[in-house]
Amino acid sequence: MREPGTLRLFKRGPSVEVRLVLLLVVCLALIVTDAHWPVLGRVRQAVSMVIYPFQRVVLAPRDALEYVDSWSHAATLAREEQDALRRQQIEMAQLVTHAAQLTTENEQLRRLLNVSESISQRSVAVEVFYVPPNAFSHRLIFNKGSEAGIAPGMPVIDEGGVVGQIMRVTPFTSEAALLIDDQVSIPVQVLRNGLRLIAFGSDEVGKLEVRYLTENMDVQPGDSLVTSGIGGLFPAGLSVGKIQKVDRDPGTGFAMAIAEPLSHPERYRHFLVLRVDVSKALKPDEVAHALGDN
């Protein structure tokens, strides 16, 4: 019996080659046995049950990475789908708005065509190019100018009536002052009784003023104002506005009427410019003198 702590000087037992050969024989025997007889199935199942927890532990980092990757991919895909749906919703809303705008413009153009056919005056259809950024200037810039036959002084109308008057032109654009601008004055007529007056732009936003009324002039709220045709610029019979109130001053004996325009330049983009002969038109002082004589 070998004493503890003594060295083993000679190595005994089978060599490595013999062990290798024995293992190969055992492996071949197991392969042949497993191929022809199902006797090792239960052993394989038992071994798999034993090593399964170790497999799960080893594969846990991989499964965690796959879960995180799949969750991140799903979140990214959901965000992309949400963004795509949002873009599609915006595009559909724009298409609907554009279609509604085109429908409105087509209806307005039809009404303008009916207005153009109802008057004998030649006209030019214009579109708003831009609105000057000035809160105190009631102007519109159109996309046509002298090349289309537009000249300063020509009236601008829509289906509601007179919109304003051309003030300046360039070869390809024109600037119009609206009825409510303080530089515009229009000879008008009370439709109820034929009384001829002059309408001016008002200090009140969106209003017209009929000034220098005497006490005996028959002007009442609700009266409709149309162009009288005096002066040669505005053809007779175009709608201008409706009287809202009449302010009388007993001290001076004069009165002033406030009217609301019947045109709506803030709603539409297309208008008609009437190509009147501005060379034959009377000047404002001549119009006032003509009205004074009447």
Enter the pTM of the model: 0.61
59, 89, 119 - which closes a domain? 89
4 belongs to a structural domain: no
105 belongs to a structural domain: no
CA angle, residues 156, 159, 164, in degrees to nearest 5: 25
40, 57, 89 - which closes a domain? 89
User: How many domains, the chain?
Assistant: 2
Give me the mean pLDDT over the 120-148 stretch: 86
| Statement: residue 1 has pLDDT above 50 | no
Of all residues in the chain, what percent carry a pLDDT higher than 70?
Answer: 79
36, 70, 89 - which closes a domain? 89
Residue 223: closest CA among 251, 195, 204, 255? 195
pLDDT, the chain, mean: 81
pLDDT value, residue 51: 80
Place of tokens 């360039």: 170
pLDDT in tens, 271-282: 999 998 888 776
189 belongs to a structural domain: yes
What residues have CB less than 8 Å from 287, skipping those under 6 apart? 185, 187, 198, 230, 231
Alpha carbon distances (Å) from 115 to 102, 119, 162, 247: 20, 7, 11, 34
Residues 7 and 24: their CA atoms lie apart, in Å, by 33
- Domain extent, residue 197, equals 183-268+277-293
pLDDT in tens, 237-260: 889 999 999 988 877 778 899 999
pLDDT value, residue 56: 77
pLDDT value, residue 11: 56
Lowest mean pLDDT among 101-110, 182-191, 230-239: 101-110
Asked whether 265 and 271 are in contact (CB, 8 A), the reply is yes
35 belongs to a structural domain: yes
Q: 197 vs 102, which has greater pLDDT? A: 197
256 belongs to a structural domain: yes
